[in-house]
Structure 1
Amino acid sequence: MKYVKDKNWLEKEGYSKKIFLDENDLGTKGARVQEIKIKAGEVAKIHHHKIQTEIFYFLNKNGYFIVNGEKIKPKVGEILVVEPNDKHEIVNNTKEDFLYLCFKINYSEDDLYWDE
Structure 2
Amino acid sequence: TVHEEDYSKEIIFSTDDFEEEGHLLQVVTVPPMTKQRLHLHREQTEVFYILEGVAVIQIRAQDYVARPGDAFICDPGDTHSLWNQSDEDFKVVVFKINKPEEDDTDWLEGGEP
- 1:106 equivalenced with 2:98 (yes/no): yes
Distance in 2 (CA, whole Å) between partners of 1:13 and 1:64 is 18
Aligned to 1:92: 84
SS of 2:66's equivalent in the other structure is coil
Distance across 2 between alignment mates of 1:61 and 1:80: 15
Alpha-carbon shift at residue 61 of structure 1 (Å): 3.4
Q: Superposed, which structure 2 residues align to 1:51-70 within 5 Å?
A: 51-70=43-62
Letter in 2 for 1:112: T
Partner SS state of residue 32, structure 2: coil
Q: Does 1:37 align with 2:29?
A: yes
List per-residue Cα deviations over 1:86-116 (Å, max 9, x = no partner).
Answer: 0011110000000010000011342010111
Does structure 2 conserve the Cα–Cα contact (< 8 Å) formed by 1:48 and 1:113?
Answer: yes
Q: Deviations over 1:3-46 (max 9, x none)?
A: xxxxxx21012000001111211122110000000000111100
Contact kept in structure 2, 1:61 and 1:73, CA below 8 Å: no
Unaligned runs of 5+ in 2: none
Unaligned runs of 5+ in 1: 1-8
Identity %: 31
Q: Which amino acid aligns with 2:54?
A: N
Query: Partner letter of residue 17 of structure 2?
Result: D
* Other-structure match for 2:70: 78
Structure number with higher strand proportion: 2
How many residues align? The count is: 108
Q: How does 1:2-41 map to 2 (within 5 A)?
A: 9-41=1-33
TM-score by length of 1: 0.88
SS of 1:14's partner is coil
Aligned-residue RMSD, C-alpha: 1.0
The one-letter code of the counterpart of 2:107 is W
CA distance in 2, matches of 1:63, 1:112: 22
The CA deviation at 1:75 is 2.3
